[in-house]
């Protein structure tokens, strides 16, 4: 890894339940506005859980997708193209000749992939037999179509792949994209995560696990990370895209720089298919690895965007992990979960939460954890309750932990020429 090659963020695109652009998403976060409500996409009257965080008023044609493309692309792929369209424009790399196509790569993450397509095509099979299955079923369903379609759309001929690590997928994708630049395999990477898993089968499956909140009568209060009355996460959807760029390449074209990726730490729990290791031990090791890679000390960290799903066990273990790594400094660090406003976007969560970290660093504002009303003695950190906070944020951490024991931690630092 060539750490003489620095990786900066030069473009952002966001499609979230509480904001269909980066600007509206950020405005919602710092004003404590949720995107959680009763599910409208299908009839939930027979479901234990009837709430979710759906993307509102999505129109793929606004992002250059024609009707033919839409018919042949699952919703999670459409979300990918939408945020990539925004990020590429934001970075100013949408003009021919700005980036060598062979030095432009794509890495996305998706934990579930095209489950909507799978359900639709299974229904077609059951009703009409195998001849009714669409020839586009497989290329619509497979998770790698996030990166595949983005590569085709933007002419990226460099590294091109998709990470599938459940709820750590988006963060793994961003960390891997940074490594492609550090390793001199690319100069610019389009990266992030996408998920569109609010479907009957997905909702029913997560409900069967007893992983979801059942606050059907008050959905806006259902996601309450670190609160003593939390009862599960809320299923969300959307996408986030970052443009990562080698610093000298960005400077040569006069790009705006939002911040710098300095660390990416990965570990495995080797413990359980759904539960975190006791005390968040695996997440703690991932944080230590990211800090070592970035040359970051505990006292350097100003903000942690927590995985913070609003589950009883997960939030407690994550809090313990942060304490174990940061020691006495943990009480001075602002820790918030923006999932309180977006729900849990599964494989896309690390992407939109990395965007929250980047903007916290860029704007020196920390988004809150809303619905924090009843302190839990086992969660005893500063969770930035209910209101955003203006504060200098030089270093921010994004935690992402996935079913299967996958842990990914990213560290974003305020850009300075002298770093």
Euclidean distance between CA atoms 380 and 86, whole angstroms: 38
Which of 4, 1, 7, 14 is CA-nearest to residue 244? Answer: 7
Distance of CA 160 to the CA centre of its chain: 19
H-only helix segments in 65-114: 67-71, 75-91
Active-site hit among 172, 307, 357, 379: 307
Euclidean distance between CA atoms 91 and 289, whole angstroms: 29
CB neighbours (10 Å) of residue 257?
17
8-state DSSP, 287: H
For residue 268, the cross-strand partners are 406
For residue 107, the cross-strand partners are 161, 191
Active-site hit among 249, 344, 379, 406: 344
Enumerate residues 6+ apart whose C-beta is below 8 A from 186.
103, 104, 105, 158, 159, 180
Euclidean distance between CA atoms 167 and 131, whole angstroms: 35
| 167 assigned to active site | yes
Active-site hit among 167, 172, 249, 379: 167
Encoded tokens for 345: 């976007």
| 406 assigned to active site | no
Angle (CA) 389-219-14 rounded to 5° is 55
**Cβ atoms of residues 196 and 79 within 8 Å:** yes
| 357 assigned to active site | no
- List residues with catalytic annotation: 167, 307, 344
């Amino acid at each position: 890894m060539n750490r003489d090659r620095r990786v900066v963020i030069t473009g952002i695109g966001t499609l979230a339940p509480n904001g269909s652009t980066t600007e509206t998403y950020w405005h919602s976060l710092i004003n404590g506005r949720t995107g959680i409500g009763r599910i409208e996409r299908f009839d939930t009257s027979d479901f234990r859980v009837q709430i979710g965080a759906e993307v509102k008023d999505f129109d793929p044609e606004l992002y250059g997708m024609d009707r033919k493309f839409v018919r042949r692309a699952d919703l999670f792929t459409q979300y990918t193209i939408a945020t990539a369209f925004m990020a590429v424009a934001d970075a100013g790399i949408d003009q021919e000749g700005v980036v060598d196509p062979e030095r432009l790569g794509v890495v996305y993450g998706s934990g579930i992939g095209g489950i909507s397509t799978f359900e639709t095509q299974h229904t077609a099979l059951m009703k009409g037999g195998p001849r009714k299955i669409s020839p586009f079923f497989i290329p619509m369903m497979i998770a790698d179509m996030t990166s595949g379609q983005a590569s085709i759309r933007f002419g990226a001929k460099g590294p091109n792949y998709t990470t599938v690590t459940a709820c750590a997928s988006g963060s793994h994708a961003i960390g891997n994209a940074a490594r492609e630049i550090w390793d001199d395999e690319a100069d610019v990477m389009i990266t992030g995560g996408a998920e569109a898993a609010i479907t009957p089968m997905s909702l029913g499956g997560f409900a069967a696990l007893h992983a979801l909140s059942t606050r059907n009568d008050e959905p806006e209060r259902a996601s309450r990370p670190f609160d003593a009355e939390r009862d599960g996460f809320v299923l969300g959807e959307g996408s986030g895209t970052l443009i990562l760029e080698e610093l000298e390449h960005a400077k040569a074209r006069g790009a705006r720089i939002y911040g710098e990726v300095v660390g990416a730490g990965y570990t495995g729990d080797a413990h359980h298919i759904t539960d975190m290791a006791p005390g968040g031990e695996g997440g703690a090791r991932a944080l230590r690895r990211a800090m070592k890679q970035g040359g970051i000390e505990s006292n350097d960290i100003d903000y942690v965007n927590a995985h913070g799903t609003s589950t009883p066990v997960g939030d407690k273990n994550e809090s313990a992990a942060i304490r174990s790594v940061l020691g006495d400094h943990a009480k001075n660090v602002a820790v918030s979960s923006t999932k309180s406003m977006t729900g849990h976007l599964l494989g896309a969560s690390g992407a939109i939460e990395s965007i929250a970290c980047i903007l916290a660093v860029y704007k020196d504002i920390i988004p809150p954890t809303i619905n924090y009303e009843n302190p839990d003695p086992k969660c005893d950190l500063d969770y930035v309750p209910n209101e955003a906070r203006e504060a200098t944020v030089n270093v921010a951490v994004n935690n992402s932990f996935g079913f299967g024991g996958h842990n990914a931690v990213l560290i974003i630092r305020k850009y300075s020429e002298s770093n």
